[in-house]
A and B are shown apart, each in its own frame.
Chain A
């Protein structure tokens, strides 16, 4: 019995690794979400005891104190980005679907997948352990800017543990990035040309390229920071704390954002891919401008490292660099617009089916659209200055990389769950979950945008210390109410999941009537080797509503590897 358990955990089967990431990611999503609700509580009822938190903060009878609050927003950001959303998108959905969708028997480096998960698990364990150490967990913000993140100003062991934890997830992200890239380049089934890959594979591939390129930059910055913390080096220390020399804190900011901005695209590229596919599947129409969309995603990938310094517009950046990064940042919105218009064109004159993955994709489109549009003023120097460091920024990036990638995770999960576990989730509950989440996301992050426009700075324990922010209390309370409802609406998902795994009905082999390899050539759930025989791919992923297919097969879709009875299609 125990041996079987251990064998399951040490598996190198990509589907099992995906399930491990799924549960790990959900655990940290829950943790990150609860931390977010505590932050929201503090802004609605500053200094009031949080019901049920007295055990954790006995001295203040459950009220958040400034040190507790700094821990909250630091860990919320770190946990959500590094331990929840990225692992869910790449670790869970990516690991599960990528080999299946390209007709591979597994990853190019199966042991690397497993090792990557264990690096992630060690990192996660360090984060959890940091709650128990003296002086508490990390508190220098998710960006960990030095000198604040150095021991002179944040002496706790928790900050060191978090630095090591980030290195661990860096190892994990680099390993699956490398694995994904090599697998897509080398392990596609015969006939699976670049132009026949589902868009989600494109998204995962580009995201993996960004992981390979930019996660090492983060690792370098984090490693130097770790040396500053434990080995007495002074790479990033200046000012009073610099004894005998010292370095430059700005170098860290450049390194961090050279990773940090591409990370936004790491999170959103798989989501874009899913939206592109799902909109086509559930409009029963080929994706409009497939090559344009894949090309636009490639353009964003190529430019992603060239826009990072708009995070440094207020750091005293030289006007030459400021102008260059303003132009590049605005320019990156052009491919995004091409992609968005392609999605809209795919919907138009389709036969739209509002399944739960489709609702998830449409919701992702909406929140991503709103998030992208609210980012334009942050890309231009003049308008960035008044908004920099305010809740406007928080609302903007939560819409794009929080709400959009979260909704995409659920769209993907609702889509592939029958394949993953062989059971069908309840559609009604899934739809209610997606809809309520989307509406409440817009409520929460729209409220943040409004507060930011009115000048509320982010990361303030008590914003109302500032007189000019006092009138924002009702707005913040309204936003907090939305956030709590959002948290509560996740019970729709949890209930659905528990019920389905316990009592759910067996899924049909191809519930969505699509032609991609995972649905047409593999069992649900797939066998350890994925396919009985390696499929030979004959056509693209979106052969839907083609008249000759309808005539010959009596259905509106055709498998990517399906041999046509009378002559080929496409």
Chain B
């Protein structure tokens, strides 16, 4: 296995420039004790083992316990580009709520006002004018509501969702290969050499780590059934399908710990296919990757065929 990674963009976290200026730069709460310990090279997280579940879960629940039970809002966001799609959603919901209110009010008013009213002479099926009004009104509503949604959606798709040029052109981009299993997320990092399928590949289970403010380019596959890779806090969702490589990208706006969820029914324990994504500072991430890569190289077993599922990175 091995080979040269196509193109100029290698993963060199230690050489990366200062963090990008973020659209919505929310200062993180600072590393919690557990995160600080994880990042400490003296106490590295063992590769290929469960994440420190208790400690990290605590830090997730701290975020969630801010009393959002009844507020109609998407999950708390952590992505640089998430606010764009959130704003679009909110705007279209306002439009749609208005539309629903008008239609309901019209209906209720008509029933209330004309209930048992004296029948009036009704032109058969309305007049040409009234029918023209119906079509005109429908076209206006369509242009207004659907048009706004379409233009906003198209813009987001062009600039963010389907724009893989952003991660492809950024030299700091982190590449991530994810292999979905019943019922866990196996993630592979290229390690310091920037190539997948080499002894220093870092492999984790249900434990994703990414640096803040850097594009993360994800390619997903599945070993067994169709899974759905989703990062609710990042507005990321993509099927993991056996036999093909799907790809997407995101960029974390702040440090913290977030959840990875499976959204396609993938069997009995589908609901437990939960992973954690930890957003670290660039320096902490680089330190972690270096240490984890060193341990992986030590533990590398060339005969362990099952561990060699990584593929040579191919951009579209």
Interface residues of A (CB under 8 A from B): 66-67, 70, 139-141, 145, 147-148, 152-154, 237-242, 246, 248-250, 283-292, 314-316, 319, 322-323, 326-327, 330-331, 333-334, 337-338, 340-342, 344-345, 347-354, 362, 365-366, 369-370, 373-374, 376-377, 379-383, 385-390, 450, 453-455, 457-463, 465-468, 470-475, 540, 542, 544-547, 556, 570
B270 touches A460 (CB 8 A): yes
A337 touching B110 in the complex, CB below 8 Å, given contacts A242-B243, A460-B271, A466-B259: no
A347 touching B107 in the complex, CB below 8 Å, given contacts A322-B162, A382-B85: yes
What is the CB-to-nearest-CB distance from B192 to chain A, in angstroms, rounded to a whole number?
30
B93 touches A241 (CB 8 A): no
B contact residues around A326 at 8 Å (CB) = 150, 153-154
List B residues 212-253 near A (Cβ within 8 Å). Answer: 221-226, 228, 230, 232-233, 235-239, 241-244, 246-247
User: Is B7 interfacial (CB-CB < 8 Å)?
Assistant: no
A354 touching B111 in the complex, CB below 8 Å, given contacts A249-B241, A390-B263: yes
A385 touches B236 (CB 8 A): yes
Q: Smallest CB-CB separation from B264: which chain A residue? A: A389
Q: Smallest CB-CB separation from A358: which chain B residue? A: B111
Q: Please name 11 pairs of A and B residues whose Cβ atoms are closer than 8 Å in the assembled complex, sorted by A.
A: A145-B264, A250-B244, A285-B122, A286-B124, A351-B117, A373-B96, A386-B232, A388-B263, A455-B232, A457-B262, A545-B120
What is the CB-to-nearest-CB distance from B238 to chain A, in angstroms, rounded to a whole number?
6
B contact residues around A374 at 8 Å (CB) = 96
Q: How far is the CA of A369 from the CA of B266 in the complex (A)?
A: 33
User: Is B23 interfacial (CB-CB < 8 Å)?
Assistant: no
Q: Smallest CB-CB separation from B85: which chain A residue? A: A382
B146 touches A330 (CB 8 A): yes
B contact residues around A458 at 8 Å (CB) = 263
Q: Smallest CB-CB separation from A73: which chain B residue? A: B265
User: Is B121 interfacial (CB-CB < 8 Å)?
Assistant: yes
User: Is B75 interfacial (CB-CB < 8 Å)?
Assistant: yes
Q: How far is the CA of A273 from the CA of B272 in the complex (A)?
A: 44
A315 touches B241 (CB 8 A): yes
B259 touches A292 (CB 8 A): no
B contact residues around A333 at 8 Å (CB) = 142, 146
- Indicate the member of B73, B123, B150 with the most A CB atoms within 10 Å: B150
A545 touches B121 (CB 8 A): yes
Q: How far is the CA of A546 from the CA of B233 in the complex (A)?
A: 60
Q: How far is the CA of A351 from the CA of B113 in the complex (A)?
A: 9
A241 touching B224 in the complex, CB below 8 Å, given contacts A316-B246, A327-B150, A383-B88: yes
Q: How far is the CA of A472 from the CA of B154 in the complex (A)?
A: 31
Q: Smallest CB-CB separation from A350: which chain B residue? A: B114
B contact residues around A345 at 8 Å (CB) = 126, 130, 134
User: Is B182 interfacial (CB-CB < 8 Å)?
Assistant: yes
A contact residues around B54 at 8 Å (CB) = none
User: Is B27 interfacial (CB-CB < 8 Å)?
Assistant: no
**B 93-123 binary contact with A (CB < 8 Å = 1; else 0):** 1001001100110110011001111111111
Instruction: Give the residue of B152, B221, B267 whose beta carbon is less than 8 angstroms from that of A153.
Output: B267
B107 touches A380 (CB 8 A): no
A contact residues around B99 at 8 Å (CB) = 373
What is the CB-to-nearest-CB distance from B58 to chain A, in angstroms, rounded to a whole number?
9
Excluding A314-B228, A351-B120, 7 further A-B contacts by CB distance (< 8 Å) are A354-B111, A380-B92, A385-B237, A454-B72, A468-B60, A470-B65, A546-B121
What is the CB-to-nearest-CB distance from B135 to chain A, in angstroms, rounded to a whole number?
6
Instruction: Give the residue of A334, A369, A455, A467 whose beta carbon is less than 8 angstroms from that of B142.
Output: A334
B contact residues around A289 at 8 Å (CB) = 125-126, 130-131, 134
A contact residues around B258 at 8 Å (CB) = 468
**B 41-63 binary contact with A (CB < 8 Å = 1; else 0):** 00000000000000001001101
B contact residues around A342 at 8 Å (CB) = 134
Instruction: Give the residue of A286, A316, A454, A466 whose beta carbon is less than 8 angstroms from that of B238.
Output: A316
Task: Name the 4 nearest CB pairs between A and B, nearest first.
Answer: A239-B242, A238-B243, A389-B263, A316-B246
**B 128-148 binary contact with A (CB < 8 Å = 1; else 0):** 001100110111011001100
Q: How far is the CA of A470 from the CA of B150 in the complex (A)?
A: 33
A contact residues around B272 at 8 Å (CB) = 465
Q: How far is the CA of A461 from the CA of B272 in the complex (A)?
A: 9
Q: Smallest CB-CB separation from A67: which chain B residue? A: B268
Q: How far is the CA of A365 from the CA of B154 in the complex (A)?
A: 31
A454 touching B74 in the complex, CB below 8 Å, given contacts A342-B134, A376-B92, A468-B259: yes
A240 touches B232 (CB 8 A): no
User: Is B15 interfacial (CB-CB < 8 Å)?
Assistant: no
User: Is B9 interfacial (CB-CB < 8 Å)?
Assistant: no
A369 touching B104 in the complex, CB below 8 Å, given contacts A284-B119, A347-B110, A545-B121: yes
User: Is B261 interfacial (CB-CB < 8 Å)?
Assistant: yes
Q: Smallest CB-CB separation from B118: which chain A residue? A: A351
What is the CB-to-nearest-CB distance from A267 to chain B, in angstroms, rounded to a whole number?
21
What is the CB-to-nearest-CB distance from A245 to chain B, in angstroms, rounded to a whole number?
11
Instruction: Give the residue of A240, A292, A330 whose beta carbon is less than 8 angstroms from that of B224.
Output: A240
Q: Smallest CB-CB separation from A144: which chain B residue? A: B265
B contact residues around A351 at 8 Å (CB) = 114, 116-120
A465 touching B153 in the complex, CB below 8 Å, given contacts A148-B226, A337-B141: no
User: Is B315 interfacial (CB-CB < 8 Å)?
Assistant: no
A314 touches B239 (CB 8 A): yes
Q: Smallest CB-CB separation from A347: which chain B residue? A: B110
Q: How far is the CA of A189 from the CA of B258 in the complex (A)?
A: 66
Instruction: Give the residue of A369, A389, A570 whose beta carbon is less than 8 angstroms from that of B103.
Output: A369
User: Is B294 interfacial (CB-CB < 8 Å)?
Assistant: no
User: Is B269 interfacial (CB-CB < 8 Å)?
Assistant: yes
Q: Smallest CB-CB separation from A458: which chain B residue? A: B263
B150 touches A240 (CB 8 A): no
Q: How far is the CA of A370 from the CA of B103 in the complex (A)?
A: 10
A344 touching B106 in the complex, CB below 8 Å, given contacts A385-B85, A545-B119: yes
What is the CB-to-nearest-CB distance from B241 to chain A, in angstroms, rounded to a whole number?
6
A314 touches B238 (CB 8 A): yes
User: Is B299 interfacial (CB-CB < 8 Å)?
Assistant: no
B contact residues around A238 at 8 Å (CB) = 241-244
A contact residues around B24 at 8 Å (CB) = none
What is the CB-to-nearest-CB distance from A149 to chain B, in angstroms, rounded to a whole number?
9
B contact residues around A383 at 8 Å (CB) = 85, 88-89, 92, 149, 153
What is the CB-to-nearest-CB distance from A368 to chain B, in angstroms, rounded to a whole number?
11
What is the CB-to-nearest-CB distance from B123 to chain A, in angstroms, rounded to a whole number?
8
User: Is B274 interfacial (CB-CB < 8 Å)?
Assistant: yes
What is the CB-to-nearest-CB distance from B201 to chain A, in angstroms, rounded to a whole number?
20
Q: Smallest CB-CB separation from B273: which chain A residue? A: A465
B153 touches A353 (CB 8 A): no
What is the CB-to-nearest-CB distance from A135 to chain B, in angstroms, rounded to a whole number?
11
A382 touches B153 (CB 8 A): yes
B contact residues around A388 at 8 Å (CB) = 237, 263
User: Is B169 interfacial (CB-CB < 8 Å)?
Assistant: no
What is the CB-to-nearest-CB distance from B64 to chain A, in angstroms, rounded to a whole number?
5
Q: Smallest CB-CB separation from B179: which chain A residue? A: A239
What is the CB-to-nearest-CB distance from B35 to chain A, in angstroms, rounded to a whole number?
16
A319 touches B265 (CB 8 A): no
Q: How far is the CA of A463 from the CA of B139 in the complex (A)?
A: 41
What is the CB-to-nearest-CB distance from B71 to chain A, in angstroms, rounded to a whole number?
8
What is the CB-to-nearest-CB distance from B23 to chain A, in angstroms, rounded to a whole number?
16
Q: How far is the CA of A382 from the CA of B83 in the complex (A)?
A: 12
Q: How far is the CA of A486 from the CA of B117 in the complex (A)?
A: 33
A454 touches B117 (CB 8 A): no
A462 touching B271 in the complex, CB below 8 Å, given contacts A153-B225, A250-B244, A349-B120: yes
Q: How far is the CA of A555 from the CA of B155 in the complex (A)?
A: 59
Q: How far is the CA of A31 from the CA of B46 in the complex (A)?
A: 50
A contact residues around B271 at 8 Å (CB) = 66, 459-463, 465
B242 touches A352 (CB 8 A): no
A377 touches B93 (CB 8 A): yes
Q: How far is the CA of A274 from the CA of B253 in the complex (A)?
A: 52
B244 touches A316 (CB 8 A): yes
B73 touches A453 (CB 8 A): yes
